[in-house]
Amino acid sequence: MFLRLLLVAGAVIAALVALFIPSSPQREPYVQGRNKTALFITNIQHGLSNVHVATASALLEGYPDIEVHFASFPKLREKLARVSAFAQAKTPAAKDIVFHELRGQPFAEAMQLLGATQESTISPPGIAGIDQFTNNMQDWVSPWGVEEHMVLYDEISALIEEVDPAVVVLEVLLRPALDSTRDKNRLHAIISPNTLLDSFRGDQPYGSMFWKYPAWSSGFDFPVPWRNMLENIYLNFRFIYAVMLTPNLSAKKAELRTRGLKDPINFLKMHRPDVPWITMNTEGASIPVDVVPTNVTCAGPILLSVAPASEQDPELAGWVSQGPTVLINLGSGFEYSINYVRPMVGALVDVLTKTDIQVLWKFKKLGEYSDDELAPLKPFLENGRLRLSNWLPIDVLSLLETGDIVASVHHGGSNCFHEAVSAGVPHVILPLWVDLYNFAALSETAGIGVWGCRDTSPDWTADGISSAIIKVVDGGNASISLREKAKSLGDKVRAGEKGRDISAREIAKLAYVK
């Protein structure tokens, strides 16, 4: 009886949500520009843009007759030049990516002006962190003020006119680009690093987003356990309110409409049935959904394929090959405050004392504290079993593909998760905010990873980190199972077509004007 009531309630709730979302208007056919031309427009953050860079690279290699343009902020220029050179080494007919520098305000800078910091982003899962999450959500949807939004909107509009591409390729968090492209009615596609559930939770039937699928930031298992059902419903309601009804976002939308924008910052209507949407959803490494919306392509991991590790940095690749190595890499932007460095140091002392592995730790300091905090690690630095680096001279995927990495310790970002999945390497996930908790739970459900410090997240303890790493590397029954399942899944992913090639093929279809 209780289940039936939940099903009915979920269906009613879903219907009520639909009332707030206007149906898609009848549209004229999209405008296509010059034949064999694609324009990518993205933010610079690796977690947002890597899928686009990987797709652009595959376009250069597989479709050298297509002219690839890429608009972003200055820091991405060097990376795209490297991608062009690598693609040309594989496909001599490949051309350079044409880079267009956006002079408007980058996403991170806009966030900082709103007072966002790493510490303000970190939040616990579930109800304990929902207030912070929903407050942050208003900024994440679109952090630019009206004037800054208009600067980028106008700049991108002019660029589209100048390049006149057959297709514009977008991401979900550069909202001025999405608004500009749609207001100009240009043919476009969206590539997302997220999974189907992340993007299309609300499309699932019978209101199952409330009672079956774990809410964003919940970290609940799938399907949602009975004990978490009411909390899951509450979390979903709070999320809907955050993106639809909050005064700050509503006022910004209203002002942008007065400036001539037709449907600005419509977060809940980003997907259109007539617009291709490409996702990294991967069978065996994603929560299965009941409904896949029209025009959505599940490409699996969309990853940048570059030179082997031995070519990128022979010395570091040689060190990694000396023995089983744990890679600790909490994404491109994470920096270690004193509250995070202390438990990590304690954990590494424990792991390096109890096992014979070696550790490569991407470490970047946040705040002022003494280097003495790292003193307990000195013996392991001196004997060569531990390396610290504030950046990795070898791309993470290339490191994982060496076969020498026995565990990938990361924060649960989609790119980090899918890199390890593709390489068949088990995970130790230390999530810090929002969707990271769901990837951590997913790794355990799939049997390919461990959620470290699950009981204390987002705070860490030395014991929580060390026990998670040791569980993966100690050779016991749990370790063997994790490694075998991760390897089996990785073998299956690599046996199929590469996600970046699937993504590039979908974009190429649109770049050829019919």
Q: How does pLDDT run across 143-179, given as a tens digit for each residue?
A: 999 999 999 999 999 999 999 999 999 999 999 999 9
Identify the three-state secondary structure at position 409. Answer: strand
Q: How far is CA 162 from the centre of its chain?
A: 30
**Is residue 274 within 8 Å of residue 166, measured between CB atoms?**
no
Q: Enumerate the β-bridge partners of residue 71.
A: 41, 100
The residues near 184 (Cβ < 8 Å, ≥ 6 apart) are 31, 157, 160
- HEC string for 109-158: HHHHHCCCCHHHHCCCCCHHHHHHHHHHHHHHHCCCCHHHHHHHHHHHHH
The two three-digit tokens of residue 107, written as one number: 């996403």
Long-range pairs for 495-499: beta carbons < 8 A, 24 or more residues apart? 496/300, 498/58, 498/300, 498/303, 498/305, 499/54, 499/280, 499/282, 499/299, 499/300, 499/301, 499/302, 499/303
Crossing angle between the packed helical segments 462-473 and 477-495, to the nearest 10 degrees: 70
Of the candidates 408, 353, 426, 362, which has an alpha carbon nearest to the alpha carbon of residue 385?
353
- Rounded distance between C-alpha atoms, residue 3 and residue 19, angstroms: 25
- Rounded distance between C-alpha atoms, residue 427 and residue 406, angstroms: 9
**Is residue 222 within 8 Å of residue 445, measured between CB atoms?**
yes
The two three-digit tokens of residue 27, written as one number: 């549209």
**Is residue 50 within 8 Å of residue 80, measured between CB atoms?**
no
CB atoms within 10 A of CB 195: 24
Amino acid 388 reads L
> What phi and psi values does residue 296 have, to the nearest 5 degrees?
-105, 130
Peptide bond into 223 cis (omega under 30): yes
**Is residue 160 within 8 Å of residue 186, measured between CB atoms?**
yes
Report the DSSP pairing between strands 296-298 and 98-101: unpaired
Name residue, tokens 């993966």. 472
pLDDT tens, residue order, the chain (514 aa): 333 333 333 333 333 344 344 445 567 899 999 999 999 999 999 889 999 999 999 999 999 999 999 999 999 999 999 999 999 999 999 999 999 999 999 998 998 888 888 888 899 999 999 988 888 877 788 899 999 999 999 999 999 999 999 999 999 999 999 999 999 999 999 999 999 999 999 899 999 999 999 998 999 999 999 999 999 999 999 888 776 666 677 788 899 999 999 999 887 788 999 999 999 999 999 999 999 999 999 999 999 978 899 999 999 999 999 999 999 999 888 999 999 999 999 999 999 999 999 999 999 999 999 999 999 999 999 999 999 999 999 999 999 999 999 999 999 999 999 999 999 999 999 999 988 999 999 999 999 999 999 999 999 999 999 999 999 999 999 999 999 999 999 999 999 999 999 999 999 999 999 7
- Rounded distance between C-alpha atoms, residue 312 and residue 37, angstroms: 31
Q: What is the pLDDT of residues 209-222, one digit of tens each?
A: 999 999 989 999 99
Longest dimension (CA), the chain: 68
The two three-digit tokens of residue 34, written as one number: 């010059």
Task: Output the pTM of the full model.
Answer: 0.93
The two three-digit tokens of residue 76, written as one number: 């991405």
The residues near 65 (Cβ < 8 Å, ≥ 6 apart) are 36
Of the candidates 443, 464, 462, 446, which has an alpha carbon nearest to the alpha carbon of residue 454?
464
Query: DSSP letters of 69-98?
Result: EEEE-GGGHHHHHHHHHHHHHH-TTPPPPE
What is the number of residues in the chain? 514
Crossing angle between the packed helical segments 414-423 and 46-62, to the nearest 10 degrees: 50
Q: What is the pLDDT of residues 227-283, one digit of tens each?
A: 999 999 999 998 887 766 666 777 888 999 999 999 998 877 889 999 999 999 999
Domains in the chain with CATH codes: 31-304+498-511 (3.40.50.2000), 309-495 (3.40.50.2000)
